[in-house]
Structure 1
Amino acid sequence: MRKDNKSDRVKRFAQIWSLSRADTDKTQEYMANGLGVSKKTIQNWEKGASAPDLFEGSEWFRVLGINPLPYYLAFLYPWMFDGIKPDDNDEEIEQALLFLVKNMTQVEKRQLLYLMAGRHGSPWYSLLQMFTAHCHSSLRSRVTAARTILENYEMDQVCGDLVCPDNVQPDMKMLHHAVEEGKQSVFNQLSGYTNIDISKT
């Protein structure tokens, strides 16, 4: 595992902003207007001359309408996640996946285990294919499907019809927030959204 110095980390941190902006074809002017800062501020962030605070960083990805996790993982663990692709060798894929699972919260691990081995009646392989197809669909389609799932869950919960009421349950606050953020991103013609709850940081 390669160790880098502070200069390397500053440069890589600045790339979070420049790469994510380039990936969405947004200009520095667009980001300045969306964040309420000057174009010079955006330039300084992308050069590493200064850096956004936690709130500004989360707002950056909200304005872009994309998931920040891949960019932060590439910053924190460049030897593992920077540029990793599905066609990379099996060892690299397994190492990255095991790292992610190891660093999940206990609730996330329970939720993943429930999806894979819970007595909900749906085979894991079928669920995996559904999730894969879902993530390839347009954001508008994903928001529509998520809203239906959310409403079905809430109705089944009230009616006492949940399949496994004693097993781990979804974070409904997060799910409601995700649906709303996704909807707003569709209205703003963005291809994705971020779902960071600043109150938890």
Structure 2
Amino acid sequence: MVRNPERRTALVDAAIEVLAHEGARGLTFRAVDTRACVPVGTASNYFANRDDLFMQAGARITDRMTPDPVGVEEAMRPAPSRELVTELMRWLVQRMAADRTGYLAMLELRLEATRRPALRDRLNRTFRANLDESARFHREAGLPGDADAFLVLYLAMTGLLLEHFTLPDVLTGSDTVGAPHTDAVLNRLVETIVTRIIPAG
């Protein structure tokens, strides 16, 4: 059977929506069909089983989260500095916020990977490759901070994003009177993280 690649992409995007809104347990072929507004049984024609659906969703999220090369080139025009690292981290937060659904779906996949060895192996390889590529980019771009500083920055930003997308009130204090706007709080936190980790020179 000839399958439509555009429809496959639409189905995987629907699976990502299901993951983000209903969790990994809610990710069924029927749920994907419903979210994609296609006839029941469509998803089962495109994916061998739920494991395949999890794998395809992970690959698609990675693709969606990869920055556009033109945007990277534009962002890297200023000279390497701690200030540039701060702007790059702010851009990272903005990109993740622009695809909040994708980020939440990836968190669901990470949790599901603790129960599915094949998915865990796939995500380990993907995240390790992304981490290595980001470290290489940091080094070759001449950005300040050695390998250890880069790794600590990665871990700090991962924690910041996790907190922001799951329990944002912890960081913003939005339940208090006169709390700062979320964007302002995030910008300040990003600057604090970079300043404490990356050397000025």
Task: State if a TM-score over 0.5 links the two structures.
Answer: no
Q: TM-score, normalised by structure 2?
A: 0.32
Q: TM-score, normalised by structure 1?
A: 0.32
More helix by share: 2
